[in-house]
Amino acid sequence: MSIRGAAFIAGAYEHPERVIPNKSVAQVHAEVAAGALADAGLSFADVDAYYCAGDAPGLGPLSMADYLGLRLAQLDSTDTGGSSYLIHVGHAAAAIQAGKCKVALITLAGLPRQTTARQAAARRVITDLAPETAFETPFGTPVHSLYALCAARHMYEFGTTSEQLAEIRVAAAHHAQYNEHAYLREPVTIADVVNSPLVSDPLHRLDCCVVTDGGGAIVVVAPEVARTLNRTCVKVLGQGEAPKHAENGRLDLVSTGAVWSGPAAFAEAGLTPADIDYASIYDSFTITVLMTLEDLGFCDKGKGGRFVTDGTLQAPHGLLPFNTDGGGLCNNHPANRGGMTKIIEAVRQLRAEANPAVQVPDCGLALVHGTGGTLGTRTGSATLILGRQDA
Amino acid sequence: MSTPSLPAPAPDVNPETKPFWDATAEGRLLLPRCRDCRAFIWYPRQFCPACGSLDTEWTQACGRGVIFSFTVTRRGQGDYAKAAPYVLAYVELAEGPRMLTNIVDCDVDAVAIGDPVEVVFHDTGAGSALPRFRPAVTAAHE
């Protein structure tokens, strides 16, 4: 059964800070939860479903359910990296539709900029290392190098250039200048991007997202709850999810799981790429965005470089305004998981609450896409399509 | 085995993968192969992800391939913090699988997608060796 219209996003809150030296991870989860519930006009006592991922401390959702004092009929800690929260929205909508719950809280928080000693202590090894580890890690695999392998192959197969990738950073930075909370607010030129130092050929420093502390939360509610709230809600229209891996060691480096999650979401929503007014596209790296736009069908495979040229992604009047908060590239990529902030900016756009300089006029339909894990090895893709309350 | 200039961190070995790593210490590159569908399996495991069979065997790869993609890492991390610039690459073996590895014994700026390469083994000091690849003088079919 389609989840189109089965649930609404009633609350959304992004933590305003980007460097947080004096708080615990659980505390930041609680702060964003409180912010999202206040935004919805609901309380912790109203919550009967909770979703989190690997950034939540403790065993799955149990520790945070305890910390927050939640009584729950649904709980889930599906973890596909940064895309987890899009999947949580889809799963919450299905649970609401099945009558399992009415008010689902989803939180993300982390402190990657704080001392790594705390992070090391938190690492728990009660199982084997992942079965692929021995055949990857010994060869020196920082994440920027794994994404660079995708960019290199994309350039080889399609002639994509560094200047085309740079257009993506230029658009995000253009938007970030209007966001008072963004980690980086300076506009940049294509030359600035391609002249920034190489981190792993062909990716430059400005092809990479920021590292920030913080987080965000959203509240997904049943239609009968949405009707009672004095708050503009956003309708969930469709959601798809798919892992993409090597399929027995024959890895395709130029496509992501969006080739499956996108069509599934569009089919559920009864929409096509041409219908989308605004897109939040996961932007861990510029190449992530470019490959995703192709896979979702905004342009043909291999034509992403051409597509992002000439202001396509720039709000308010580009063909496909994207990441109008500045994205992970410039605003916020908390806990190295960018999916929550992608959802939150789409909610702002549909509520007409984005910064006026970047608000898409008459924004009625939005797409959110998450790319968790790592392109270059294995990734979790998720696509979420949202509309205004009356969609 | 040649002396590496790159770090050679020891991989985590478990009972399933021990035959693979024991062979690397002897300078042999093994590929698991499914006895049911005949697919070569990568990364090594005693299960066939192509058809779901548990009936696998170890075969010896020819050790030749071509570069499928590569990057010159300018900023290393962990064991590789001081190793940059070094080349991380996917090599497509003659048998089909694309394996993550390093390209060695050459100028990092002289590497290209499509280059023919051959395997070399770098001792980890822990009873295993890392299979890495150097430029081959001739392609696999010659």
Helix (H) / strand (E) containing A200: strand A198-200
Structure ipTM? 0.91
Per the CB < 8 A criterion, the answer to whether A221 and A193 are in contact is no
Smallest CA–CA distance, residue B138 to chain A, in Å, is 22
- How many secondary structure helices (H) and strands (E) does chain A include? 13, 11
Average pLDDT rounded to a whole number, residues A287-315:
97
Least Cα distance to A319 among A298, A290, A297, A342 occurs for A298
Least Cα distance to A384 among A270, A241, A220, A273 occurs for A241
Least Cα distance to B43 among B71, B75, B22, B21 occurs for B21
Which of A140, A150, A246 has its CB closest to that of B88? A140
Computed over its alpha carbons, how large is the radius of gyration of chain A?
A: 19
User: Does A174 score more than 60 pLDDT?
Assistant: yes
Per the CB < 8 A criterion, the answer to whether B114 and B90 are in contact is no
Which of B7, B42, B124 has its CB closest to that of A248? B42
Smallest CA–CA distance, residue A229 to chain B, in Å, is 49
Q: How far apart are CA A391 and CA B62, in angstroms?
A: 59
Q: Reduce the DSSP state of residue A316 to 3 states and report it.
A: coil
Read off the pLDDT of residues A91-100 as tens digits, 9 standing for 90 and up.
999 999 999 9
What pTM does this model have? 0.95
Q: How far apart are CA A34 and CA B83, in angstroms?
A: 46
Per the CB < 8 A criterion, the answer to whether A343 and A368 are in contact is yes
Per the CB < 8 A criterion, the answer to whether A222 and A115 are in contact is no
Token couple for A296:
């979702």
The predicted structure's pLDDT at residue A287:
98
Record: contact B43-A135, CB cut-off 8 A: yes
* DSSP string over B74-127: SS--GGGTTT-SEEEEEEEETTS-EEEEEE-SS-GGG--TT-EEEEEEEE-SSS
Task: Give the distance from CA B142 to its chain's centroid.
Answer: 21
**What are the chain A neighbours of B133 within 8 Å (beta carbons)?**
none
Read off the pLDDT of residues A212-228 as tens digits, 9 standing for 90 and up.
999 999 999 999 999 99
Mean pLDDT (chain B, rounded): 94
The predicted structure's pLDDT at residue B3:
46
pLDDT band at A378 (very low <50, low <70, confident <90, very high): very high
**What are the chain B neighbours of A134 within 8 Å (beta carbons)?**
11-13, 17, 21, 43
User: Does A25 score more than 50 pLDDT?
Assistant: yes
User: Does B62 score more than 90 pLDDT?
Assistant: yes
pLDDT band at A26 (very low <50, low <70, confident <90, very high): very high
Record: contact B69-A156, CB cut-off 8 A: yes
Q: Tokens 């495979």, residue?
A: A301
Average pLDDT rounded to a whole number, residues A272-301:
98
Q: How far apart are CA A287 and CA A296, in angstroms?
A: 14
Q: Please count the CA atoms within 13 angstroms of the CA of A59 that sit on its side-chain side.
A: 3
Token couple for A350:
């549909």
Average pLDDT rounded to a whole number, residues B109-127:
97
User: Does B125 score more than 70 pLDDT?
Assistant: yes
Task: Give the distance from CA A288 to its chain's centroid.
Answer: 12
The predicted structure's pLDDT at residue B141:
57
The predicted structure's pLDDT at residue A1:
84
Q: Reduce the DSSP state of residue B130 to 3 states and report it.
A: strand
Token couple for B67:
């570069």
Average pLDDT rounded to a whole number, residues A334-342:
97
Q: Is A247 part of the contact surface with chain B (CB cutoff 8 Å)?
A: yes
The predicted structure's pLDDT at residue A124:
58
Average pLDDT rounded to a whole number, residues A315-326:
97
Average pLDDT rounded to a whole number, residues B8-23:
95
The predicted structure's pLDDT at residue A119:
72
Mean pLDDT (chain A, rounded): 96
Read off the pLDDT of residues A233-270 as tens digits, 9 standing for 90 and up.
999 999 999 999 999 999 999 999 999 999 999 999 99
Q: Tokens 């295993």, residue?
A: B128
User: Does B48 score more than 60 pLDDT?
Assistant: yes
Which of B43, B89, B130 has its CB closest to that of A138? B130
User: Does A126 score more than 50 pLDDT?
Assistant: yes
Sequence letter at residue B129:
A
The predicted structure's pLDDT at residue B140:
58
Closest alpha carbon within chain A to B11:
A134
Q: Mutation test of the interface with chain A: which of B34, B41, B66, B69, choosing the one with the most A Cβ atoms within 10 A?
A: B69
The predicted structure's pLDDT at residue A151:
98
Read off the pLDDT of residues A102-120 as tens digits, 9 standing for 90 and up.
999 999 999 999 977 667 7
Read off the pLDDT of residues A351-367 as tens digits, 9 standing for 90 and up.
999 999 999 999 999 99
Phi (first) and psi of residue A106, to 5 degrees: -125, 125
Query: Could you give the residue ranges of the DSSP H alpha helices within chain A?
Result: 25-40, 62-68, 84-97, 116-122, 143-158, 162-176, 190-195, 223-228, 258-269, 286-296, 304-307, 327-330, 339-350
**What are the chain B neighbours of A135 within 8 Å (beta carbons)?**
11, 42-44, 99-100
pLDDT band at A125 (very low <50, low <70, confident <90, very high): low
